[in-house]
Structure 1
């Protein structure tokens, strides 16, 4: 007789997802293998997700919802599941991203996580730790789901020129990442500006930071260090960082000129023309 792990649906969002997946599958009279055949995966994968040993994906959730008639339950749960897999210190930030109406970011040496490609995110996350790299990459990319919401936030991203030239993951990865930035050129809710080396002394020399603004709550500033995040709603800090961001926007290239610099960097450093 096959041993069946008994999940506590209250233990975590991932356990709850697995519990509901099993409940719906058994109600439909399907084995794990049969469900796997319907949704184009192995029965083993279904079992791993049911026992909270493997993270589900968007595609898996949508296919199972359709196959089992769950009225989109698993797809709705997925965001909560993936957010719960973020490092504990970062989970609050992901919640801020999900609630914000406007996100203003300034980064000096990396492309912000909301704009990273899969290959770039994988290279960044695997720099010092390659354990569970597939799952950790999936979780990071899941944060980008907020950009596809019915009412997405406005994302303003100021990127240092260093982030365009620092070769993360190799030329192919960088080509893809710069192409991703260029794909936002005509998206009115995603504004990318590049702060050139030529800007010299600027208002962001103390380091990267994010400003989150909300429909009815006070704005929050977020900074981070190694393995720790610092969100604050202190009015003086918010005022200071908002002013700094205004100065950084003024010092950075326009959206159009930033796209041209990104395009030129692709051609000069990574040998590819981008229309």
Structure 2
């Protein structure tokens, strides 16, 4: 019987191809069939085959399980971050790389919660609006971006969030309640600060839209904005200085961190009700 045709990957074609090539190498070196490896990973042989042929984007959990099966020295766990980043829109990948290198991130968000502070359910609701074909991969990539907050040397993140982002019911009451509760949880993390710009502030220097300021230890500072179709990053000193001036005015107009937390709590109670999961947990 003729051997089944096996697609040969060009490991240099993309991070996903490289991941699949490495998986096949380690599996064959260990003398395991796809069903045998699937049994060790608690997944199907079909999934193994799809990842090996770059037809399926692996998850971080899948990659980390591979590192427990093979003596790879954590290679799959290191590679998966790059694989997931390539699932982001091509125009956004440059920013994601800069964000991961920044030591200080300042952002004004006019419509939604900042991506680094989103829950998975909220992120899914935000990104499914334009009905992308790769929604699962986009959500996984956004969650992967958030790992920079858990590093030993995380960036200092300062978020000014328009009150509209708190009150816009994205994903339904449960999703919003959990998202706002998640925001409140950052009060205990010294490197993340959240201020809310209330409606009462009226006109302000962020009326032209969302923007981010990234600072680095050695590289030039960067201002980042987006329009409907793409992102724009500039290291022009004059432009960055103007962005910094506008951001300082936004911070001055926003509520303090403590008063912002109080407003978030009030919106949770008034607009989204009590803890939606309290009834399921019961009384201790």
The answer to whether the 8 A contact 1:193-1:254 is kept is: yes
Give secondary structure in 1 for the equivalent of 2:269. Answer: helix
Whole-angstrom distance in 2 between the partners of 1:273 and 1:84: 36
Return the offset for 1:190: 0.8
Give secondary structure in 2 for the equivalent of 1:216. Answer: coil
Aligned equivalent of 1:162, options 157, 161, 164: 164
Whole-angstrom distance in 1 between the partners of 2:156 and 2:24: 38
Structure 2 unaligned residues grouped into runs of 5+? 277-284
Q: Deviations over 1:82-136 (max 9, x none)?
A: 1112111101000011110011010111111111111111111111214221112
Residue 97 of structure 2 aligns with which residue? 95
Is 1:247 aligned to 2:280, yes or no? no
Aligned equivalent of 1:9, options 8, 11, 24: 11
Residue 66 of structure 2 aligns with which residue? 64
Map residues 1-275 of structure 1 onto 2, 5 A cutoff: 1-272=3-274
Return the offset for 1:150: 2.0
CA RMSD of superposed structures (Å) = 1.4
The answer to whether the 8 A contact 1:222-1:231 is kept is: yes
The answer to whether the 8 A contact 1:164-1:262 is kept is: yes
Whole-angstrom distance in 2 between the partners of 1:155 and 1:98: 12
TM-score (norm 1): 0.97
| Misfit runs of 4+, over 6 Å | none
Whole-angstrom distance in 1 between the partners of 2:263 and 2:230: 33
Give secondary structure in 2 for the equivalent of 1:167. Answer: coil
Whole-angstrom distance in 1 between the partners of 2:147 and 2:34: 28
Number of corresponding residues:
275
The answer to whether the 8 A contact 1:193-1:253 is kept is: yes
Q: Deviations over 1:19-40 (max 9, x none)?
A: 0011011111111111111122
Return the offset for 1:138: 1.0
Give secondary structure in 2 for the equivalent of 1:183. Answer: helix
The answer to whether the 8 A contact 1:36-1:42 is kept is: yes
Residue 282 of structure 2 aligns with which residue? none
Return the offset for 1:185: 1.1
TM-score (norm 2): 0.94
Return the offset for 1:273: 5.2
The answer to whether the 8 A contact 1:210-1:221 is kept is: yes
